[in-house]
Amino acid sequence: MQQSKPREDNYRHKGLRKQLVETLRKKGITDEMVLAVIERIPRHLFLDTAFEQYAYEDRAFHILANQTISQPFTVAFQTQLLNVKKFDKVLEIGTGSAYQTCVLAELCASVYSIERQRELYEFVSKFSFLQNYPNIKRFYGDGFQGLSTFAPFDKIIVTAAAPLIPPKLIEQLKPGGVAVMPVGSDMGQKMLRITKDQSGVIFKEELGDFMFVPMLTGKNK
């Protein structure tokens, strides 16, 4: 993540991003809008300078508060499943480094993102790159509760392992809306795409095995 001194985004970084996009294509990401956004966003700014050299490898990385910035493939995969349209109202659970948040914002969604770790929430508040996105609103809170004041949402994305489908999130999904979340235990999760039809009926699809940090209840001071 960006520290106080401004950091650059140079030709080497841009070249590495192109290579990362090629890797994601080979791994099956086909949504050109998602790939273009990943090519534009300087992921190295979301990592500590000491780890910058790994920023464009397709791997997750440790950030503050014992959390992780998701693997680029996972970010691309979840975003592709979400099928974000311009001006969609998107609720994200687990801001973390805010990389996924920026991917959604770069797709011109109106993003509402919740983080339960105060340390991370406050760290991200000082991250100047986010000033590029007036369409991001961040909240310190418990994602299991969602954000009833701003509901309903067109799309909901959870970036931590949910032990079960959080009922309040499904309540806060618009008819016709889509939620994407990893559901399971700390041994592994299935990526679920949950669709609510116009009459409120829920459909679930399982789309592969993943390993996320746990979604925990309550806020952490």
Q: Catalytic site residues? A: 70
Maximum pairwise Cα distance, the chain: 52
Which of 1, 2, 68, 182 touches ligand SAH by CB under 6 A?
Answer: 68
Q: Which stretch, 47-55, 89-97, 180-188, 198-206, contacts ligand SAH (CB under 6 A)?
A: 89-97
Question: What is the Cα–Cα distance from 93 to 179, expressed in whole angstroms?
Answer: 11
We find the least distance from the C-beta atom of residue 131 to ligand SAH, in angstroms, to be 18
What is the per-residue binding string for ligand SAH in 140-159, x denoting contact by CB under 6 A?
Answer: --xxx--------------x
We find the least distance from the C-beta atom of residue 97 to ligand SAH, in angstroms, to be 3
Residues 2-61 within binding reach of ligand SAH (CB under 6 A): none
Question: What is the Cα–Cα distance from 40 to 38, expressed in whole angstroms?
Answer: 5
We find the least distance from the C-beta atom of residue 68 to ligand SAH, in angstroms, to be 5
> Where do contacts with ligand SAH occur on this chain (CB under 6 A)?
67-70, 93-94, 96-97, 99-100, 114-117, 120, 142-144, 159-160, 213, 215-216
